[in-house]
Amino acid sequence: MAEIIKFVYTMILLLSLFLVTTKVGAYIACQSEIDCPPNYSFLFAIRCIKQKCVTVGRYL
């Protein structure tokens, strides 16, 4: 009985991970870099490329 409950619990967790990660490829529309959200990282920069806000590597 406990094994069945563990199995069901594991399946619920795995399915919820797949449902949460369905919007990973979503982009923010922009006309210029001002429209993109602020960047708080020193390693990456956010640029407006082809009317989409894209995270790109920052070359130091």
Tens digits of residue pLDDT in 7-57: 999 999 888 877 765 556 678 899 998 999 888 888 888 899 999 998 888
3-state secondary structure of 11: helix
pTM over 0.75: no
As beta bridge partners, residue 29 has 52
| pLDDT of res. 41 | 80
- As a whole number of angstroms, the distance between CA 17 and CA 33 comes to 32
Is the pLDDT score of 60 beyond 60? no
The residue ranking higher by pLDDT, 58 or 25, is 58
Domain range holding 10?
Answer: 2-57
Number of domains in the chain: 1
